[in-house]
Structure 1
Amino acid sequence: MNPYFYILGTLLFTVYGQIILKWRLSGLRIVLPEGLLDKLFFMVKLLFDPFIFSGLVSAFVASMFWMGAMTHFEITKAYPFMSLAPALVFLVGILFLGETFTIGKVIGLALIILGTIVTVKW
């Protein structure tokens, strides 16, 4: 199996987890309570939502893929690929969550991707 599969799995499960949490919490129109105990109770209650739970499981699966990646790569070679997550979140956020598209975000993401290429190649 290609070792880059582990990096791709890390990216995809990380992005899925972030997007599904944002989508679900936005759909529920959640307002976080003020008190510390109320916040804690509220967060525990959210854990039982199947979509939110799947986002948390996704973070765990992403960690498993990352461990696989660490058996094949130096961290200084693998970790720059994680900077591609904001680009993926940007695209998915625009397509599925109706997030705003600005030229500044595009330029920033292009710089991140260029930096990733430079870091990994040289």
Structure 2
Amino acid sequence: MSSYIPLILFTVLTNAAAQLMLKRGMSSFGSFDIAGDGIIATVFRVVFNPFVFAGLCTFVVSMASHLVVLSKVQISYAYPFLSLAYVVVAAYAYFAFHEDLSPSRIAGIGFIVIGTIFIAQS
């Protein structure tokens, strides 16, 4: 199972990258006026924002790699690794988006990392 860790980590990183691209894309919109613009126009404006579109495409890549992982290893082994995406997103959001990274979040991140290490060694 450990031979699939690089592919699992690729899945984690593409998942995190997708989240970050979606956040970047959606941050450019502010609030929506669906009633004024119409739902179809709003959906097209959102989906075809370059960052949102790239994020959605990256999610497809992430899901495809996750499907490969699921075909090779037990889900109880592979799925917990996805929590590492939270670690990547939280760290990047702190530096790039200036989001809060409180001591309790840092402790939670530490627990996620420790838990993932235990799972990887099982």
How much does 1:115 deviate?
A: 2.3
The aligned residue for residue 19 of structure 1 is 20
The aligned residue for residue 8 of structure 1 is 9
The aligned residue for residue 113 of structure 2 is 113
Q: What is the number of residues matched between the two proteins?
A: 119
The aligned residue for residue 87 of structure 2 is 87
How much does 1:23 deviate?
A: 1.5
1:71 and 2:71 correspond? yes
Distance (whole Å) between structure 1 residues aligned to residue 88 and residue 74 of structure 2 = 23
Gaps of 5+ in 1: none
Distance (whole Å) between structure 1 residues aligned to residue 30 and residue 58 of structure 2 = 21
How much does 1:83 deviate?
A: 1.0
Partner secondary structure for residue 57 of structure 2: helix
Q: Which runs of 4+ in 1 moved over 4 A?
A: none
How much does 1:97 deviate?
A: 1.4
1:49 and 2:49 correspond? yes
Paired residues of 2:25 and 2:52 also in contact (CA < 8 A) = yes
How much does 1:39 deviate?
A: 3.9
TM-score (norm 1): 0.85
Distance (whole Å) between structure 1 residues aligned to residue 32 and residue 109 of structure 2 = 30
Percentage of matched positions with identical amino acids: 25
Paired residues of 1:77 and 1:120 also in contact (CA < 8 A) = yes
TM-score (norm 2): 0.85
Paired residues of 1:24 and 1:51 also in contact (CA < 8 A) = yes
